[in-house]
Structure 1
Amino acid sequence: MQAQRTRADRARARHFLRHYLEMVAAMVVGMLVLGAATRGVLALAGVEFSASRHPELASLEMAFGMSVGMAVRMRRRRHGWASTLEMCAVMFAPLLLLFPLLWLDVVTADSVIALEHLAMLPLMFLAMLRRRGEYGG
């Protein structure tokens, strides 16, 4: 009985981890595809876009691209709107702290996106733990 439960727990943990990694991959695809499209359109319009000169815009654009990639993947896997929007909110949540720190010169413009990623990944994991049944298989 205990061995069966342990096996089932391991299978759920593997499913949860695979789901997490798939969502990270979807975020990266969304960020790269929409980021390239955004920068291409801006370049065609003659608008120069630099993360070091416009860290707020660059961070928002990146969070948006990641959110779109993740939302597409989640909806295709039939996740509900509540969990999909919650996960998208996680992409923007670190900016609520990082932007004021940027404006107060506590963090540099060049570090905002890296810090955003560092905060976003564990927050995403916590959001998944909150809905463990939905993500754990």
Structure 2
Amino acid sequence: MSSTIPTQTATAAHPEPAHSEPAPHTAHHLSAKKFTLHFAEMVVAMAVGMVALHPVWTFVLDALGAAEVMHDPYTGALIMATNMTVAMSAWMKIRGHRWRPIAEMGAAMYLPFLVLFVPLALELIDEDALLLWGHVLMLPAMAAAMLLRPHEYAHC
């Protein structure tokens, strides 16, 4: 004698979404500790990217006779943001993130520098302030990107 256990399946009236947001009743299960740990992991990945990729850029630009590119505050800041973004994006992909959140986090790396290029061009700040404030503002920009999709970061 076989028994069947009734199961609830999706119906035409209530289809199950393929990739959905967590239901509102599960929002309280998101872990602030995991969210914060993930933020810290991304900051570490960014630091690793800066340290590991800077010599690569230096070597390639020196070989091309374009070492001055690293010393220009605009291109130097963009190269640094790229180094951080490459490493952080790789870490996010390893952690199972989708491309959209990775792209949003990448934008958070560049946005502070792009905004600060205006006061730099107007000579309201110098290169040191660009680098300092670019890095400082990157942290709330990252947090804002994470808060757009808290479930993306609190489950890892």
TM-score computed with the length of structure 2 as normaliser: 0.75
Which of 106, 114, 127 is matched with 2:145 structurally?
127
Amino acid at match of 2:129: S
2:42 paired residue number: 23
Q: 2:88 — aligned with what?
A: 70
Distance 1:65 1:48 in 2: 17
The aligned amino acid for 2:42 is M
- Aligned pairs for 1:103-122 (under 5 A) are 103-122=121-140
1:79 maps to 97
Query: Can you give the 5+ residue segments of structure 2 that lack an aligned partner in the other structure?
Result: 1-27
Q: Using the alignment, how far apart are the partners of 1:124 and 1:15 within structure 2?
A: 15
- Give SS of 1:78's match: coil
Percent of aligned pairs with the same amino acid: 38
Following superposition of structure 1 onto structure 2, how do residues 27-38 of structure 1 map, counting pairs within 5 Å? 27-38=46-57
The 3-state SS of whatever aligns with 2:31 is helix
Query: Which structure shows the higher helix fraction?
Result: 1
Structure 1 unaligned regions, length at least 5: 1-7
After superposition, the CA RMSD in angstroms is 1.8
TM-score, length-scaled by structure 1: 0.85
Shift of 1:113: 1.1
